[in-house]
Homo-oligomer: A and B are copies of this chain.
Amino acid sequence: MEPNSENSVADATLLIRSECWEELRPLLKDLHPADIAELIESTPESLRAGVFDLLDDETKADVLSELDDAVEEELLEALTPEKISDIVEEMAPDDAADVLGEMDADRSESILNLMDREDSEDVRELLAFDEETAGGIMTTDFVAMSSHKTARDALEYIGSLELDEPLHSTYVIDNDGKLLGYVQIWKMLKAGNRDRTLDELAEAEAIFARTDTDQEEVARLMSKYDMNSLPVLDADGRLVGRVTIDDVVDVLQEEASEDIFKLAGSSDEELEYSSPFQASRARLPWLLITLGTGLVTSMILKAFMHSISTMEVLALSFFVPIVMAMGGNTGIQSSTLIIRGLAIGSFSGRNLYRVFLREIMTGMLMGGICGTAIGLWAAFIIGDGTAYPPAVLGLAVGLALFSAMMFAATFGAFAPLLLNRCKFDPAVASGPFVTASNDIIALLIYYGIIVLMLPAAG
C-alpha cells in the first residue's frame, strides 16, 4: 500500500520525459529514497543524471544505497571525487563501504582522502573485510556503554546523540571492550530501572558473529533467533560492529536467488541490468555441459546401432526421450529438496542418512508407478508393428524407466549431500549437472536392460 507514492511516481515519470526539472524537484522531496531509486532505474539512461542532480546530498546518499549496482556505477562515473566524497559522508559507514568497494582502488582512495578523517577511518576498516562476511555487511554505528553506568546515564547519553539510523538498544561492555550483553532502551524506561546499572539490566548476548563469519551463517543465526541486530566481535572478542536485520533480509534474498539460478544453470547476476551477451555468458557454460553430455549420448546411441538390429533400435528409440526426461526431472526434484533443505537448515538435527534413504524409497515408489504406466503403453499402444513381442517390450521399457528413476532420485540426493559434506556449495551439483549425469545414466540403464532382456526373447 503506497497510495501516494504510486501517483507521485507516475507524475514524476511524466515530468522527466518532458524534462521539466524545476517542476520535478518538489515532487522528489516527498518520495521515499527507495521510490526515487526505482524511478531513476526506469528512466532512460540519458536522463538519469538529470534526475539525480536535483537531489540534495543526503537524499543522494540514501538513493545510491538503494540503486542497482550497474545504475549506481553509471551515475557515480559522471561525478567528481569531491562531489562523491560529499555524498558518501552522508552515508552510514557500511553503505559507504559498499559504494567505494565497487570502484577501482585509485578512485576510492582519492575519495577517502577527501573525506573527514573520522568518517574515512570507519569506512577504511570496513573495506578491509570480505564483502560476504559479517565484517563486510556490518555497520560500525552502534552504542556501547560500560557496565557500571546506570540506565539514567545511558538514557541521557542516547538523548545527546545525533543519530542517522534507528537505535533500539545499547551494548554493554567491560573495561577491555569485551561484550557482556545488551539492554533494550524500553527496558531502561521501566519504573525502578533508572537507577540500576547496565550490568544488572543486561541480557547476556550469547549469540554473536566474528568479522569473518560467512553472511549466510549470519542470516541463519539472526533468523533462527529472531534477532533485529547481531553483534560482531573481532578476534580478541572486542565489539567492533553489528549487523542489522535489513541487511540480512537482502542477504536472504540474494542467497535464495543464487540457489534458484544455480538450479537453472545460470547466475543471479542476471537480475541486474544485462545485455544478451552477458546473459549468454552466464548461461552458456551449463548449456555446453548439456551439449557435451548430448554428444556423448549420441555416440552411445550410435554404438548400440551396431549391437542390435536397426528395427530394434528404432522401436526402442521411441522411448528414449521419456526415459531421459523422467530421469532428469526426478533427479532435479531430489536435488532441490536437499539443496533447499540444507540452505534453510530444515535438516538440522535430523539424520541425513534417513533423508537419503527416503529419497531412494520415493524414487522406487514413483518409478514403480511410472514404469507400470509406460510399460502398459509400450505393450498395448506402441508394441504393434515393432520387432518385439509387445509384452516383452512393455516389461523391458517399464523396468528401464523404474531403474532410471530410482537411480536419478538416489544420485540427485547423493550429489548435493556429498558436496555439502566436503564443504562445497551443494547448489553447484544441481540443475544441469545432475540432469546431464542422469541423462547418460538413464540411457545406459535403458539400453543395458533392453540388451539383457530382449535378445533372449526376440
Question: Is the pair A158, B314 in contact by a Cβ cutoff of 8 Å?
Answer: no
Q: A194: nearest residue on chain B (CB-CB)? A: B159
Q: Which 4 A-B pairs have the closest CB atoms?
A: A42-B349, A294-B322, A256-B256, A264-B336
Query: Is A439 interfacial (CB 8 A cutoff)?
Result: yes
**26 residue pairs from A and B, CB less than 8 Å apart:** A1-B217, A34-B226, A168-B185, A185-B189, A228-B245, A252-B256, A260-B336, A264-B333, A266-B333, A271-B346, A276-B361, A284-B369, A284-B370, A287-B330, A288-B373, A290-B325, A295-B322, A295-B377, A297-B322, A298-B319, A302-B382, A310-B311, A313-B317, A321-B324, A321-B439, A325-B439
A293 to B326, CA, bound (A): 10
Residues 163-221 of A contacting B (Cβ, < 8 Å): 163, 166-168, 184-186, 189-191, 193, 206-210, 213, 217, 221
Is there contact, CB below 8 Å, between A260 and B228? no
A246 is an interface residue with CB less than 8 A from chain B: yes
Q: How far is the CA of A275 from the CA of B359 in the complex (A)?
A: 9
A283 within 8 A of B: yes
- Bound together, the chains give a CA A1 to CA B39 distance in angstroms of 40
In angstroms, Cα B188 to Cα A163, docked, is: 13
Q: Is the CB of B225 within 8 A of A32?
A: yes
Question: How far apart are the CA atoms of A386 and B106 in the complex, in Å?
Answer: 62
Asked whether any CB of chain B lies closer than 8 Å to the CB of A29, the reply is: no
A110 touches B (CB below 8 Å):
no
Kindly state the separation between the CA atoms of A351 and B45 in the bound complex, as whole angstroms: 13
**Per-residue contact bits, chain A 321-339, to B (CB 8 Å; 1 contact, 0 not):** 1101110111011011100
Closest B residue to A332 using CB positions: B264
Shortest CB distance A159–B (Å): 4
User: Residue among A32, A209, A298 with the most chain B CB within 10 A?
Assistant: A298
Question: In the complex, what distance in Å separates the CA atom of A319 from the CA atom of B291?
Answer: 10
A143 to chain B, nearest CB (A): 9
Q: Which of B261, B276, B322 contacts A365 (CB 8 A)?
A: B276
Q: Bound state CA distance, A166 and B349, in angstroms?
A: 29
Question: A426–B313 Cα gap in the complex (Å)?
Answer: 40
Q: Which of A262-308 contact B (CB under 8 A)?
A: 263-266, 268, 270-271, 275-277, 279-280, 283-284, 286-288, 290-291, 293-295, 297-298, 301-302, 305
Chain B residues near A337 (CB, 8 Å)?
A: 261, 264, 266, 270-271, 279
Please tell me if A69 contacts chain B, counting CB pairs below 8 Å: no
Roughly how many angstroms separate A63 CA and B364 CA in the complex, as a whole number?
36
Is A133 an interface position by the 8 A CB rule? Answer: no
B residues near A210, Cβ cutoff 8 Å: 1
Q: How many residues of A contact B (CB 8 A)?
A: 126
Q: A5 on the interface (CB 8 Å rule)?
A: yes
Query: Which of B305, B335, B359, B366 interacts with A314 by CB under 8 Å?
Result: B305
A449 interfacial by beta-carbon distance below 8 Å: no
Q: Which residues of B contact A223 (CB under 8 A)?
A: 246, 249-250, 253
Question: A341 within 8 Å of B by Cβ?
Answer: yes
> Complex formed: what's the CA distance from A189 to B167 in Å?
11
Across the interface, which residues of B come within 8 angstroms of A193, CB to CB? Answer: 159
Q: How far is the CA of A369 from the CA of B155 in the complex (A)?
A: 66
Residues in chain B near residue A424, CB distance under 8 A: none
Assuming the A-B contacts A32-B206, A42-B349, A207-B32, are A310 and B314 also in contact, with contact meaning beta carbons closer than 8 angstroms in the complex? Answer: yes
